[in-house]
A = this chain, B = another copy of it.
């Protein structure tokens, strides 16, 4: 057996929900055994570690920034501590690292080097919305962001509707919060009236709302405001 450290994949809260609501106690125990983190955003990561009540001084920890601001050519440097026997954690901006989030590339490199990778339990809007939708959970597909250009987006929505219907496969996708209202409008105008849509907003927060309705019934709904709220859409 090699003497490498372990790479822990550590989910964080989806916004301002209390840690004990969505994170198992064990994760916080592990945080005290890690000195090196790869994170999407150092500020968010520091805030989360404080909220989790870790016992080490945060200024003694090492942070590498992954994602948009970082070149993947830096990744071999990032995993050096692991090769030297130190444990390391990946923290995303919200939810589970590597799922609809950076982190996957660093995990791939660790797997290649035969470093032990341990994923921890935490909140995922994909999984939570799937559970609460009432849609098929035996077969589902997450597509991330749909095309921004409207014609392409409408075509994609119709393709997902066909897949949901033909394959009985739940189709999930997300949008940048400030574009939620626009995509919601596109969904209602382009899909069939009897198609079922689930909209899950503010998951795990006190303002959480999750509704499954036919497109026809959604058209009558006028109160739900999705603007700037984290949201996931499911066609089932």
Chain A residues in the interface with B (C-beta under 8 A) = 9, 18, 20-26, 96-101, 103-112, 117-119, 121-124, 126-145, 169, 198, 203-204, 208, 210-213
Contacts and interface: CB of A to CB of B under 8 A. Distances in A.
A24 to B, nearest CB: 5
Given A25-B25, A139-B142, A139-B143, A127 B126 contact: yes
A195 B51 CA distance: 41
Given A21-B24, A108-B212, A212-B111, A99 B131 contact: yes
A119 B128 contact: yes
Contact of A26 (B20, B107, B141, B142): B20
A124 B212 CA distance: 22
A133 B121 contact: no
B100 A138 contact: yes
Contacts of A108: 134-135, 212
A128 B132 CA distance: 19
Given A25-B20, A26-B21, A119 B104 contact: no
A100 B139 CA distance: 8
A64 to B, nearest CB: 17
B131 A96 contact: yes
B130 A139 contact: no
A99 B127 contact: yes
B22 A121 contact: yes
A140 B18 CA distance: 29
A234 to B, nearest CB: 11
Given A21-B24, A24-B22, A24-B24, A119 B132 contact: yes
Given A26-B22, A117-B210, A142-B139, A127 B128 contact: no
